[in-house]
Amino acid sequence: MSADTPHVLVVDDEADLRELLVITLGRMKLKATAAESLGAARDKLNSGHFDLCLTDMNLGDGTGLELLQHISQHCPEMPTAVITAYGNMETATEAMKLGAYDFISKPVALDRLRQLIEDGLDISHVEEHQEEEDNLIGEAPAMQALKAQVRKLSRSQAPIYISGESGSGKERIARLIHNLGPRREKPFVAVNCGAIPSELMESEFFGHRKGAFTGAVEDRKGLFREADGGTLFLDEVADLPLHMQVKLLRAIQEKSVRPVGEAREFQVNLRILCATHKNLTHEMAEGRFRQDLFYRLNVIEAHVPPLRERKEDIPALVDHILQRLSQAWDTTTPKVSGQAMKALCEYPFPGNVRELENTLERAMTLCDGMVIETENLHLQGQSSQALAANSHYEGSPPASPERDPGQPLEEFLQDIERQEILKALDATHWNRTAAAKKLGMTFRSLRYRLKKLELDRDDAGTE
């Protein structure tokens, strides 16, 4: 074998299994070195370089967990997978928390073993993609800790539960973990579990054959097979009904799915990431979430902090969001006045980064010229007098509308924006060029806002 051939360390106190692993690696054109104990494994790691380690949990003079601790201290860049007794999820979970990228249960299936080895070698060859990580804005201590965790988790194949409030950026973290890992060239499939009707869930997740039920006019692969080789992100996983939780657990454990109306199963190799704004521990205690699925998905938790806990990141986020919006609208990036920035930094943002994005998008639409002032932000709690005093409309502006306590904040803010745009359009007899000038934005920006707010009309009048 050439000097570039990957070198795998096999650690097992059972001679038969050790030999099977070495033979399998040889057939894969890989170099293998065997160790029969924890002590022997430590000696070989200290004296040579390995690209991958496969270890049993029972090593005679120690355990695989002890070996993982040694590897994390002395060879942290080397991927390690563990071999566990069948059904011993507690041990497998502990191993992945200590840094193992995946596990395989006895009796060892050779096709699963080969896939495990290939995944591990892909991890060892992952190059750094700093530009991906740089897109995660934030220097607050909580964000620095999250960035470090994301770098570590991207190398693993362990299921990850991403917790955090609505709008905090959980899907962004999931995509970053995928993009920094060995599966980055494969699909990233995101699904909102709460948005799928209960009766269609099995078909959406696992696919169906043509004619399997009324409306099944063609074969469908399903989300699991669409994500094969890549990552499946289950957003709002707490919204899954109990009957679907059972089917999901089996698919994850068996790494296979059976489409509706299909007699055979299809093997899938994917990584599961999940998220919800709900407290899964509470949902489990209330009987709304299965305990066995909880422990299968919540191997490692990554928490995304709310924006109010990292207010020092708001100025950098504001600059980043305004630049992105300006590029999308093909316009010059506006500035934010000192008072407006102070208001943003003092606001608690119950809707987190998503609310900040909506606030800035609306402010760009409503501001005069190229400076966003406090009155353009329409932050909840701003006085109607302040808004009226700074209105750019002629005459006596109407008082700010009151928010219905049951109305979502995002919907309330969109209503304000819609009213402001309609007033400008009515004042200019729906001349959109004149209305854009009155609103202090480009015609392109106004056209974008009209489409988003569903105000665009075929008879919109003169441009």
* Angle (nearest 5°) at CA 87 between 203 and 250: 5
Can you give the pLDDT at residue 141?
Answer: 94
Q: What are phi and psi of 112, to 5 degrees?
A: -65, -35
CA distance 210 to 217: 5
What's the rounded Cα separation, in Å, for the pair 147 and 150? 5
Given this model, what pLDDT does residue 402 score? 62
- Tally of CA atoms within 13 A in the half-sphere of 146 that contains its CB: 27
- Tell me 208's DSSP state: B
The predicted model scores a pTM of 0.73
Residue keyed to tokens 């905090």: 168
Report the interhelical angle of 110-124 vs 15-27 (nearest 10°).
70
Shared fold status for 130-305 and 308-452: no
CATH topology (fold) of 7-124: Rossmann fold (3.40.50)
* H, E, C per residue of 121-184: HHHHCCCCCHHHHHCCCCCCHHHHHHHHHHHHHHHCCCCEEEECCCCCCHHHHHHHHHHHCCCC
Quote the longest CA-to-CA distance of the chain. Answer: 90
Contacts of 198 (CB under 8 A, 6+ apart): 241, 244
pLDDT at 170: 94
Query: What is the spatial distance between Cα 375 and Cα 387, in angstroms, rounded to a whole number?
Result: 5
**pLDDT, tens digit, for every residue of 210-242?**
888 877 888 889 999 999 999 999 999 999 999
Does the domain made of 308-452 have the CATH classification 1.10.8.60? yes
Give me the pLDDT at residue 102, please.
85
d(CA 274, CA 399): 44
For 312, half-sphere exposure in the C-beta direction (CA atoms, 13 angstrom radius) is 7
Side chain identity, residue 130: Q
Q: 277 near 75, Cβ under 8 Å?
A: no
The SS3 assignment for 20 reads helix
Domain 130-305 in CATH 3.40.50.300: yes
**The pLDDT value given to residue 384:** 38
Q: Give the start-to-end residue ranges of the domains of the chain.
A: 7-124, 130-305, 308-452
pLDDT tens readout for residues 298-333: 888 999 999 999 999 999 999 999 999 888 888 889
Of 416, 400, 403, 404, give the one whose Cα is nearest residue 453: 416
One-letter amino acid of 183: R
Alpha-carbon gap, residue 246 to 249, rounded angstroms: 5
The predicted structure's pLDDT at residue 388: 39
Contacts of 75 (CB under 8 A, 6+ apart): 45, 50, 53
Report, as ranges of residue numbers, the positions in the chain whose pLDDT lies below 50: 130, 383-400, 458-462
Peptide bond between residue 79 and the one before it cis (omega within 30 degrees of 0): no
How confident is the model at residue 256, as a pLDDT? 92
